[in-house]
Amino acid sequence: MQPIKSIRPFIEALGTEGWDIMYQTVQSIPPGYFIIADAKRGDIGNTSALYARAFFEQLNAHALTVAPYMGEDSVKPFLNFKDKWVILLAHTSNPGSADFQLLESKVTHRKLYEEVICKAKTWASAQQLMFVVGATRADKIKSIRQLAPDYFFLVPGVGTQGGDLDEVSRHALTSECGLLVNVSRSVIYAASDAGFARAAALEARKIQQQMAGHLSKLS
Amino acid sequence: MQPIKSIRPFIEALGTEGWDIMYQTVQSIPPGYFIIADAKRGDIGNTSALYARAFFEQLNAHALTVAPYMGEDSVKPFLNFKDKWVILLAHTSNPGSADFQLLESKVTHRKLYEEVICKAKTWASAQQLMFVVGATRADKIKSIRQLAPDYFFLVPGVGTQGGDLDEVSRHALTSECGLLVNVSRSVIYAASDAGFARAAALEARKIQQQMAGHLSKLS
Task: Kindly provide the ipTM of the predicted complex, given to two decimals.
Answer: 0.89
Shortest alpha-carbon distance between residue A36 and chain B (Å):
15
**How much of chain B, in percent, has pLDDT values that exceed 90?**
63
The answer to whether B47 and A182 are in contact (CB under 8 A) is: no
Closest residue of chain B to A106, computed from CA coordinates: B106
Instruction: Please tell me which of the candidates B15, B106, B119 has its beta carbon nearest to residue A105.
Output: B106
B-chain residues within 8 Å CB-CB of A92? Answer: 44, 69-70
Residue A175 distance to chain B (closest CA, Å): 31
Closest-CA residue in chain A for B70? A97
Chain B environment of A41 (Cβ under 8 Å):
40
- Per-residue b/e over B22-59, b at no fewer than 16 CB within 10 Å? beeebeeeeeeebbbbbbbbbbbbebbbbbbbbbbebb
Residue A30 above 80 pLDDT?
A: yes
Is A84 a residue whose pLDDT tops 90?
yes
Q: Is the pLDDT of residue B1 over 70?
A: no
Nearest chain A residue to B9, by CA: A47
B70 with A53: Cβ contact below 8 A: no
Angle of CA points A151, A156, A157, to nearest 5°: 140
Which pLDDT does position B13 carry in this prediction? 60
**A34 sits in which H/E element:** strand A34-41
Chain-chain contact of B99 with A8 (C-beta, under 8 angstroms): no
Contact (CB, 8 A) for A137 and A130: no
Nearest-10 crossing angle of helices A16-27, B16-27: 180
pLDDT digits (tens, 9 = 90+) for A99-109: 999 999 999 99
The pLDDT, as a whole number, for residue A178 is: 85
pLDDT at residue A166, rounded to an integer: 87
Contacts of B158 (CB under 8 A, 6+ apart): B135, B164, B165, B168, B181, B182, B183, B207
Is the pLDDT score of A47 beyond 70?
yes
pLDDT at B5 over 60: no
CB pairs < 8 Å spanning A and B? 172
Global pTM reads 0.90
CB B39 within 8 A of CB B22: no
B-chain residue closest to A132, CA distance: B70
Using CB atoms, which residue from B40, B47, B69 is nearest to A68?
A: B69
Q: Do A94 and B74 touch (CB under 8 A)?
A: yes
Q: What is the pLDDT of residue A12?
A: 57
Tell me the nearest-neighbour CA distance from A25 into chain B, angstroms: 13
User: What whole-number percentage of chain A has pLDDT above 90?
Assistant: 63
Average pLDDT in chain A: 89
First-residue to last-residue Cα distance in chain A: 17
Tell me how far apart the alpha carbons of residues A180 and A35 are, in angstroms, rounded to a whole number. 11
State yes or no: is B119 an active-site residue. Answer: no
pLDDT for B219 equals 64
pLDDT tens per residue, range B85-116: 999 999 999 999 999 999 999 999 999 999 99
Beta strands A4-7 and A179-182, pairing class: unpaired
Select the residue from A6, A7, A16 to test the B interface by mutation, using most B Cβ atoms within 10 A.
Answer: A16
Residue A6: pLDDT above 50? Answer: no
pLDDT at B32 over 70: yes
* CA-closest candidate to residue B128, choices B23, B56, B32, B208: B56
* Calpha distance A52→B111 (Å, rounded): 30
Nearest CA in chain B to A58: B15
User: Looking at the domain B4-218, which fold is it?
Assistant: TIM Barrel (3.20.20)
CA dihedral sign of residues B115, B77, A95, A211:
positive
Average pLDDT score over residue span A145-154: 95
**pLDDT (tens digit, 9 = 90+) per residue, B171-192?**
898 877 789 988 888 898 999 9
Q: What is the Cα–Cα distance from A74 to A62, expressed in whole angstroms?
A: 19
Share of chain A above pLDDT 70, in %: 92
Residue A2 backbone zone (phi > 0: left; psi -120 to 50: alpha; other: beta): beta
What is the CATH architecture assignment of A4-184? Alpha-Beta Barrel (3.20)
* CB-CB under 8 Å, B12 with A51: yes
Sign of the dihedral defined by the CA atoms of residues B55, A131, A107, B93, in that order: positive
pLDDT at residue B15, rounded to an integer? 66
Distance from C-alpha of A116 to C-alpha of A128, rounded to nearest angstrom: 16
Integer Cα distance of A197 and A199 in angstroms: 6
Percent of chain B with pLDDT over 70: 92
Q: Are A200 and A194 in contact (CB under 8 A)?
A: no
Handedness of CA A137, A73, B186, B22 (dihedral sign): positive
DSSP at B77: G
Q: Which residue has the higher pLDDT, B56 or A159?
A: B56
Q: Give the tens place of pLDDT for each residue, A93-131.
A: 999 999 999 999 999 999 999 999 999 999 999 999 999
How confident is the model at residue A218, as a pLDDT? Answer: 80
- Three-state DSSP at B163 gives strand
Q: Which residues of B touch A12 (CB under 8 A)?
A: 50-51, 54
What pLDDT sits at residue A183? 86
Q: Count each helix (H run) and each strand (E run) in chain B, helices first.
A: 9, 7
Q: Among A182-186, B82-86, B133-137, name the most confident range.
A: B82-86
Residue A10 pLDDT more than 60?
no
From chain B, pick out residues whose CB is under 8 angstroms from the CB of A74. Answer: 94, 96
Contacts of A71 in chain B (CB under 8 A): 94-101
